Chains A and B, each alone.
Chain A
């Protein structure tokens, strides 16, 4: 009677309210093209994401200064997913259905990108990947283009294991976070180590929220490995470096590091300082490597970053994020359309010129020619940002064409 009718009215009113949700722009305006993304600006990947965002906004301004894309001004929308994959589906649904963006870019990093992939495949969207690792391997979306200097596990771990074998390493310890990036890499690295004849004396996953690594480092030390291959995200990488400094990993370890994300972020590099010495880790760019146009870009980026109070060095992500913009620009101008299918076709078939060199894609949407650098930290001093601008603090061990030095081992000796 009264109550059931009330119920109907109440529910109806609520439905009406939500149906009339404020929608940013119901119809895409004719002279604007919207590019949207979620970027981790806080949380584990936050420091990297903020730097990447500066580079992307720099690209948007550059493009708009030239008149925009196909005579339409670019409007750039970025939300913060806080490095939490649970926030990503909601953010991209909002971007697509409320903000009505025309193009999407993936968030920086494998972990926030993983939930986007099924959605992208189901809605048939072009996705520009951003430093993810093998995040498309299970979903196999054909309009995925990842901008990162690696493609599969071997492109990453080859450098690390090759150096190890050269100094006679026979065993390896694996320490990996239980999240998409580290697990993808760990699965690949394990298989490669086996093929190479290396013995895995320790192999552990840890929950991504772990903050105290003392027990894990102790256990690694007790297993006496020749190499320790660590696959971690920024928060854990920093904690692991500190734990190694506190507890020690054993005098027999020849190499330590490999896949530690976050040791390339300037704030971490400055805060950890001399604690980094001796660690062999991957990178995408170190000063001294010659990509055409990169030093120019870094100078312009530095100015913008200083204003935004973000990482002023910008070695790791910013050049690659700018390159994402450049690739979109080239493809869109070439096919003269914003149609996702046409852009994807172009990206599959042509090589593009960017500030990180020429980029060509393989069938799986990853770089056809990987270029992962393994470098050893040497002679790093505490609390000194400018020391990183000169070559020499990160000695490149692999690949051959960029090599600047040989591995110093054992690990304990290289730290001193």
Chain B
């Protein structure tokens, strides 16, 4: 592998775009795991499920981004239901149940994966849109439009969510319930309802993330396994509960992966996320901006 400034610059540029995409994909987990402490290992699986729903709608002619946005509503309800079930079965019954909650979500992730295989087969699925396949020419550099679209959506999503959590009443209640649940209860708010609402938002974000996933590249049912590493690496690196931290961590991961891809080859890239995860867990488990 030879080193060239041009290649490095392209790798960085691509890494930034990729990183923002990863951040958008992890934002849902930042809320559900970062703020609510739910061991949500099924988050990538729900996201891939969202990709397939987008694929279905796209086969009727819908634009994938529009499909993703529309899917946010039913996914919000799905999220609320899942959280309710999780709360009643596990969280209410104490810390021993935490272990079982983890096993529960792993089971759910596998059920979703197999369900997708049985429903759609193992073939890769893609969608078509005017912005998929074209690229922007900047001199010698070419930036695919689909990456720009994912980049844009990611920024908007992060921005909107950060605003929501800091400016609106429910948003601040969500942050409060993460910090100090008994205090919130004393102030008259129902923490379970708030957490349910938050989980719903996280799942809705996953729906949009799923749409972006299938815009950026082909999806297949087993894709969630690769994203467990990426999303958890980002959320842990960011520090639990920090939205802007998620963006920063996403950028770090995206750039790291891009550079490894360019200079060490495609066979090392998948390990970057997991390597970063282990590093953070070993050295600074509270992450960069953790609470």
Q: Does A touch B (CB under 8 Å) in the complex?
A: yes
Rounded to whole angstroms, the CA-CA distance of A114 and B116 in the bound complex is: 28
**Does A46 lie within 8 Å of B267, measured CB to CB?**
no
Tell which of B7, B122, B134, B267 touches A219, judged by Cβ atoms closer than 8 Å: B7
In the complex, the number of residue pairs spanning A and B with C-beta atoms less than 8 Å apart equals 63
Q: Which residues of B contact A206 (CB under 8 A)?
A: 265-267
Q: Which residues of B contact A42 (CB under 8 A)?
A: 121-123
Interface 0/1 of B171-199, CB less than 8 Å to A: 00000000000000000000000000000
**Does A43 lie within 8 Å of B122, measured CB to CB?**
yes
Query: Nearest chain-A residue to B259 (Cβ)?
Result: A215
What is the minimal beta-carbon distance from B252 to any residue of chain A, in angstroms?
Answer: 18
What is the minimal beta-carbon distance from B262 to any residue of chain A, in angstroms?
Answer: 5
**Does A218 lie within 8 Å of B133, measured CB to CB?**
no
Q: Which residues of A contact B10 (CB under 8 A)?
A: 218
Report if A205 contacts B (CB, 8 A). yes
Q: Which residues of B contact A219 (CB under 8 A)?
A: 1, 7, 262
User: Which residues of B213-271 have CB atoms within 8 Å of chain A's CB atoms?
Assistant: 216-218, 258, 261-262, 265-267, 270
Query: Nearest chain-A residue to B146 (Cβ)?
Result: A246
**Does A214 lie within 8 Å of B14, measured CB to CB?**
yes
Rounded to whole angstroms, the CA-CA distance of A329 and B10 in the bound complex is: 58
Tell which of B6, B123, B261 touches A46, judged by Cβ atoms closer than 8 Å: B123
| Most B Cβ at <10 Å: residue of A215, A219, A223, A235 | A215
**Does A215 lie within 8 Å of B142, measured CB to CB?**
no
Interface 0/1 of B1-16, CB less than 8 Å to A: 1101011001100100
**Does B135 lie within 8 Å of A246, measured CB to CB?**
yes
What is the minimal beta-carbon distance from A273 to any residue of chain B, in angstroms?
Answer: 11
Query: Nearest chain-B residue to A84 (Cβ)?
Result: B122
**Does A247 lie within 8 Å of B266, measured CB to CB?**
no
User: Which residues of A337-395 have CB atoms within 8 Å of chain B's CB atoms?
Assistant: none
**Does B218 lie within 8 Å of A214, measured CB to CB?**
no
**Does B217 lie within 8 Å of A207, measured CB to CB?**
no
Chain B interface, number of residues (Cβ within 8 angstroms): 27
User: Which residues of A224-249 have CB atoms within 8 Å of chain B's CB atoms?
Assistant: 235, 239, 242, 245-248
Rounded to whole angstroms, the CA-CA distance of A42 and B142 in the bound complex is: 33
Rounded to whole angstroms, the CA-CA distance of A178 and B266 in the bound complex is: 10
Q: Which residues of B contact A204 (CB under 8 A)?
A: 265-266
Report if B98 contacts A (CB, 8 A). no
Q: Which residues of A contact B124 (CB under 8 A)?
A: 211, 235
Report if B285 contacts A (CB, 8 A). no
Rounded to whole angstroms, the CA-CA distance of A42 and B268 in the bound complex is: 27
Q: Which residues of B contact A247 (CB under 8 A)?
A: 135, 142, 144
Once A43-B122, A222-B7 are accepted as A-B contacts, the answer to whether A212 and B267 lie under 8 Å apart by CB is no
Rounded to whole angstroms, the CA-CA distance of A42 and B6 in the bound complex is: 40
Additional A-B contact list (8), CB under 8 Å, known A43-B123, A178-B267, A206-B266: A205-B265, A207-B267, A210-B266, A211-B217, A216-B266, A222-B4, A223-B2, A235-B124
**16 A-B contacts (beta carbon < 8 Å):** A83-B122, A84-B122, A205-B267, A206-B265, A206-B266, A206-B267, A207-B266, A211-B218, A212-B216, A215-B11, A219-B7, A222-B2, A239-B217, A239-B218, A247-B135, A247-B144
